Structure 1
Amino acid sequence: MTITTGVAIYLTLWWVVLFAVLPLGTVTHAEAGIDKRDGGDPGAPVDPKLKRKFLTTTWVSAVIFVILWAVLHFGLIQLPPIADPYGAG
């Protein structure tokens, strides 16, 4: 795995994990019993804690990436070669 491929895989993994982590631990205005008279969405989180979720996403993604790298590096799973779409080879 080249550095470019590793960075691309990590960033993709980071975004997937972020969308899995975002709904965890959120309390909406409706659940908290706060009236949104100004036209706000009652399903909006009261305190989204984004900094904490970004940090959680970063370390969870790093752990998953290290496991993926180790599996590929030590050959625990062999990926098939990608076929040449032009038939040369």
Structure 2
Amino acid sequence: MTVTFSIAVYFMIWWIILFAILPFGRVRSQEEAGAVVPGSEASAPERPRFLRVIILTTIVATAIFGGFYLLRTSGFSLDDIPFLKPPSAR
């Protein structure tokens, strides 16, 4: 597995996990907090906590990529799964 391929796969995993993690946690809107900043939308978050989301995304994506890397380098393939083989090949 080349470095370029690894970086591309990690980036895709990170991006997907980012959108999976974004909805978690309680985020109050500026309207709920009662302090709408002039020029911003009332539904904008009061405190978005982007650093927490980015750190959590990086931890989860790294764990998933580690599993992908181990599976990819172990030599395991779909041919190793018995119930996926056609009956004549068993």
TM-score by length of 2: 0.70
More helix by share: 2
The CA distance in 2 between the partners of 1:26 and 1:17, in whole Å, is 18
Measured on the aligned residues, the alpha-carbon RMSD in Å equals: 2.4
The CA distance in 2 between the partners of 1:46 and 1:40, in whole Å, is 11
The CA distance in 1 between the partners of 2:65 and 2:2, in whole Å, is 14
**Unaligned runs of at least 5 residues, structure 1:** 80-89
TM-score by length of 1: 0.71
**8 Å contact kept, 1:21–1:57:** yes
**8 Å contact kept, 1:72–1:78:** no
Q: Calculate percent identity across the aligned residue pairs.
A: 33
Query: Hey, what does 2:21 align to over in structure 1?
Result: 21
**Unaligned runs of at least 5 residues, structure 2:** 80-90
Note if 1:46 corresponds to 2:46. yes
Count of aligned pairs: 79
Q: 1:26 to 1:40 in 2, by over 3 A?
A: farther
Q: SS state of the match for residue 42, structure 2?
A: coil
